[in-house]
Amino acid sequence: MSLDVIDVRILAELQQDGSLSNVELARRVNLSPSPCLVRVKALETQGVIQRYVALADPKALGLGLNVFISISLKQQSKEALADFETRIAEHEEVMECYLMSGDSDYLIRVAVADIGALERFILDQLSPMQGVEKIRSSFALKQVRYKTALPLPAVLPAR
């Protein structure tokens, strides 16, 4: 599952616009539609392309507030970590969650409507979770950049 230059070009285009028709995509990567479609299907089957999604505007949905929350657990046993990871993912507000090095804790980003919603999330959802020791919130005043398109290497091993 190595990618050549054309695959990378296809990925770049689809990461920018997943609604491209195969005909238009083929035109942009200088291929005819048939082989282009074969490549796209291959990328999907291989899992390089995971899925297609619509991106919604947080502001339009009244979700203007992004908050980063650092969470420390009481213990860092494998079970305690796995348990936390399962339960944190159940909350819709949690857009991202990372196990971090250093303090051996988690960093999550939540998207909420306002401070009230944040307060409810922390007090009603997060604090009561067993194993959670320490919570520290940092507010994002502004989302300067948010993109889903991964950086693509200029060159990759030949196909």
Partner DNA sequence: ATTGAAAAATCTTCCCC
Partner DNA sequence: GGGGAAGATTTTTCAAT
Q: Which residues bind a copy of itself (CB under 8 A)?
A: 1, 3, 11, 14-19, 46-58, 60-63, 66, 68, 85, 88-89, 92-102, 106-108, 111, 113, 138-153
Only segment of 36-44, 82-90, 125-133, 134-142 that touches DNA (CB under 7 A)? 36-44
Q: Which long-range contacts (CB under 8 A, 24 or more apart) does 143-147 make?
A: 143/58, 143/66
Question: Please, are residues 1 and 48 in contact by the beta-carbon 8 Å criterion?
Answer: yes
Residue with smaller CB distance to DNA, 34 or 130: 34
CA dihedral sign of residues 11, 12, 18, 23: negative
Among residues 24, 85, 103, 133, the one that binds DNA under rule CB under 7 A: 24
As a whole number of angstroms, the distance between CA 18 and CA 22 comes to 10
5 binds, among DNA, a copy of itself, none (CB under 5 to 8 A by kind): none
Chain CA centroid to CA 75, Å: 27
Instruction: Tell the smallest beta-carbon distance from residue 23 to DNA (Å).
Output: 4
Instruction: Tell the smallest beta-carbon distance from residue 32 to DNA (Å).
Output: 4
As a whole number of angstroms, the distance between CA 27 and CA 12 comes to 14
Among residues 10, 11, 31, 111, the one that binds DNA under rule CB under 7 A: 31
